[in-house]
Amino acid sequence: MRSISEKVTIKTFRGISGLEEIATEWEFITKVMDGKRFFHLADWYRCYLNALEDQPDTVLFTVVYVSDNPEAIFPLKISSQRIFGLKMRVLQLPSHPHMCLNDFVVAKPERVKTYVPLVLKHLKEVPGLSWDYIYLPRVLEESAAVTALAEQSNIWNVRRSCGQCDYLVMRPYNLMFQGFSKTFRNNMRRAKKRAEDLGNITYTSASKHPELGMAYEAFLDVEASGWKGRKGSGTAIKLDKKLESFYRLLMEHYSRSGGCEIHIMWHDKKPISVEFSLITDSTLYTVKIGYDENYSFCSPGHLLREYLMNYYENKGGISFNNLITDASWHSGWKPQFYNVFHYYLCRPTVRGWIAYVYQKALLEIRPVWLVLKPKLRNLNIIPGRFARA
């Protein structure tokens, strides 16, 4: 690890203009990163700031330079939360329901622990900026953000599990299939037979325009065809201008370097299953999926995944398929996984202590709540989950 005696400079930039000002530094860092992911790239934040963020200037990018070379970027958004009636000032990794994973952007993660105290000291000196705790939502157990928290003894720290991030190791599909349970193998054979009985089943993969643009429209239609559409929860991407803009920007920016692909299963000329994927450093990320529920009898989502495994076995270049979440349908594919956590870093102040006690209490209460919740639902004391239309 480099000595802290080397010249270290820290600067903070704001919003869209700040991001563009450090675009060269960002690219320099990600080029030398080991194991960078799609959400480490500057394009991820470009799409977020331009489509999802109502107040782009509340997003800060704090850059660490060592001997004038950029080594780390800490993206943090200014926000707030009420705890016991007190309005707490929060700095958090930018997050959104459609931004499922987060992290700092660090060239050499083993050095990040050295930077944290310096970054915190710098942030205290930024005019007009103050906070009571820092919130890091949905960070992987192996992430730079988690590494950064190790040995930070002067910060009250709370870690809360929030699920897993499943992934598949790419290998010949016949070997994968042999590892499935007997029940899942039979289900896959049955689904494939039902699809074959329909006739005219085809699959396509698009990564370049104009095919990619046409595939994107099909993706929107299929994703909105079921319970997320107008007759259901109304949460489909197509029905939300900000979400539609976000995914369109992702397609446009990532496709410039071959990093966006849309895969579709068709019945005749009708798309019945879709996947919106991003690719970074030989990993295929399943960002969004959808299928036409009228075809659920032939499990089009699973058949599209089978197609993808065979497609990339022949094409090469992909070592992992990261499924991002831990959705129940993953289980049949026997995925491996990373643990995912929320982290809270509370300042050693009275307000920071209140936030720490509150988050600590939630951590203790959560296991009890998870046991009680289904019982309370059964007794109609709390409402059940949204019923799919």
Series of mean pLDDT values for 10-residue runs along the chain (389 residues): 65 97 97 93 98 96 94 96 92 94 92 89 91 94 86 77 96 96 97 96 96 97 74 76 97 96 97 97 96 95 97 95 96 96 91 90 74 66 44
User: Which pLDDT tens digit goes with each residue over 74-108?
Assistant: 999 999 999 988 999 999 999 999 999 999 999 98
User: Is there a domain that residue 385 lies in?
Assistant: no
Helices 241-255 and 211-223, axial angle in degrees (round to 10): 150
User: Is there a domain that residue 387 lies in?
Assistant: no
User: Is there a domain that residue 326 lies in?
Assistant: no
Angstrom distance (rounded) from CA 123 to CA 48: 23
Burial of 252 (0-12, 13-18, 19+ CB in 10 A): middle
User: Which pLDDT tens digit goes with each residue over 169-205?
Assistant: 999 999 999 999 999 999 999 999 999 999 999 999 9
The total domain count for the chain is: 2
> Is residue 59 classed as helix, strand or coil in its secondary structure?
strand
Shared domain check, 178 and 154: no
Shared domain check, 150 and 190: no
CATH number at residue 261: 3.40.630.30
Sign of CA dihedral 374, 376, 378, 383: negative
Shared domain check, 12 and 157: yes
Angstrom distance (rounded) from CA 81 to CA 86: 8
Q: How many helices and strands in the chain, by DSSP H and E?
A: 11, 13
Shared domain check, 97 and 194: no
Q: What is the pLDDT of residue 2?
A: 40
Q: What is the pTM of this model?
A: 0.90
Shared domain check, 245 and 214: yes
Shared domain check, 215 and 260: yes
Shared domain check, 304 and 347: no
Q: What is the pLDDT of residue 111?
A: 85
Q: What is the pLDDT of residue 388?
A: 33
> Is residue 339 classed as helix, strand or coil in its secondary structure?
strand
Angstrom distance (rounded) from CA 100 to CA 51: 16
CA-based radius of gyration for the chain = 23
The DSSP secondary structure of 78-100, one letter per residue, reads EEEEEETTEEEEEEE---BTTB-
Q: Which domain holds residue 346?
A: 8-162+340-378
Angstrom distance (rounded) from CA 175 to CA 187: 17
Shared domain check, 116 and 221: no
Q: What is the pLDDT of residue 385?
A: 44
Phi, psi torsion values for 59, nearest 5 degrees: -100, 125
Shared domain check, 201 and 65: no
User: Is there a domain that residue 332 lies in?
Assistant: no
Shared domain check, 293 and 186: yes
Angstrom distance (rounded) from CA 256 to CA 209: 10
Token duo for residue 276: 């919106």
Shared domain check, 280 and 357: no
User: Is there a domain that residue 333 lies in?
Assistant: no
Shared domain check, 244 and 156: no
